[in-house]
Amino acid sequence: MNVNKIKELSEKYFPEMVETRRQLHKNPELSYKEFKTTEFIVERLKRLGYDVKRPMETGCVAVMEGGMTSDRVLALRSDIDALPITEVGDHKKDFLSLNDGVAHCCGHDVHMANLLGAAHIISDLKDQIKGRIVLIFQAGEEKLPGGGRLLCENGILQELGVTEIYGLHTDPRLAPGQIGVRPGAFMARPDEFEITIYGQGGHAASPHLTVDPIVMTAQIVSMIQTIVSRNIDPNEPAVITIGRIEGGTAHNVIPEKVKIWGTVRTFGAEMAHLIRDRMEAIVKGVTESAGGSYEYHFNEGYPAVINTPWAVDNIRIKALQAFGDKSIIDLEKPIMAGEDFAFYLEHFPGSFFFLGSGSEESGAVYSWHHPKYNADEECMRTGSVLMASLALNSDHESA
């Protein structure tokens, strides 16, 4: 398939992609509650001739049979959920969220519009497709247990015979027209922890009659930070962040308890479990020595995103053919953010990549999950072409 034809169709459908993105942006829905979003997507896909399946209450899987026989079954994935954030930003004033406290401040609206644009191109050129194309519009990326995990456990992708899978994420660090790729470790494993420190409350003027959970918490917070610096090989990436501490009611009251919430980012279960166990040892030691007690919960999140090298090469080839070598940004290091695309890569070979979406002109200079997050819509000219090219032009045989 001539890549120029794909680019021509992307240009044809680009205005609709922009309109779709803004419509979805104005009407965001939280994880596993994407009911109207799902109906919007299903209607579009059925209109394009896809066989649409609903293996979960929200989200969908759409199938297009190609015109040429092959065992190849290539899947393309978009997530569809929004965040519990109140967004702001003049650059989005014409399409700000209409749902209070809910917003697409992570780019999933762009992901959906981009894949729907690719769906148009694939539908127009279906006679030239080898094998089968599976489009995944996945619920619940932002919330455990992760819609990717649920779909993999459901078995529908295995039943459809998926042989390779690709997904993307907008990236404000890169400009439209650029894509960020990296074989192997790409994104981290995000685990979460919750600690409750119990003491004995009392008057602030009589601390000797209390067991102060705030003092214990201060010691624990400081000591937890030594795990990475003293228990982890310096060549191994790991992050422990405490994001929330809650305790106390007044300036002159020593409280009964303090709660701590945080996250651990690593690239493997062994490292994560080492941190988990060291953290509990610290909490146990501090509370017992002070006469307090504790509760500790470590919630395992998504696995790390580990890209298949040959699938990354597929992306490189398609980007090179469509946009030239300046479009390809080789990322030197993985990032510590997490993504439930990792679950797909535990079951199928494939690759995740970053789609450059940052620009001053569109105000797309803020990081993911910021209330002013935006994406330059020009990125969909690149994303739709690349996704459609993977579907239409891959000669790779995964065996």
Region label for 192, one of left (φ > 0), alpha (ψ between -120 and 50) or beta (otherwise): beta
Q: Closest Cα to residue 267, out of 330, 187, 340?
A: 187
Using alpha carbons, select from 388, 328, 326 the residue that is nearest to residue 2: 388
Annotated catalytic residue within 141, 142, 377, 378: 141
Enumerate residues 6+ apart whose C-beta is below 8 A from 7.
322, 385
Catalytic (active site) residue 313: no
DSSP at 178: -
What is the DSSP code (8-state) at residue 165? E
Query: 145 preceded by cis ω (within 30°)?
Result: yes
Give me 33's structure tokens: 């509650």
**CA–CA separation, 288 and 156 (whole Å):** 50
Give me the numbers of helices (H) and strands (E) for the chain, helices first please. Answer: 10, 16
Q: Are strands 179-181 and 328-330 parallel, antiparallel or unpaired?
A: parallel
Q: State phi, psi for 49 to the nearest 5 degrees.
A: 95, 15
81 is catalytic: yes
Element (H, E) at 6: helix 3-26
Q: Say which DSSP state 304 is in.
A: P
Region of residue 174 (left: phi > 0; alpha: psi -120 to 50; beta: else): beta
Q: At what angle do helices 213-231 and 269-290 cross, to 10 degrees?
A: 150
In sequence order, the 6+-apart residues with CB closer than 8 A to the CB of 2 are none
Q: Which member of 29, 79, 81, 109 is catalytic? A: 81
Cβ-proximal residues to 334 (8 Å cutoff; 6+ apart), any chain: 182, 185, 186, 187, 188, 237, 267, 304, 305
Q: Are strands 305-307 and 239-247 parallel, antiparallel or unpaired?
A: unpaired
Catalytic residues: 81, 141
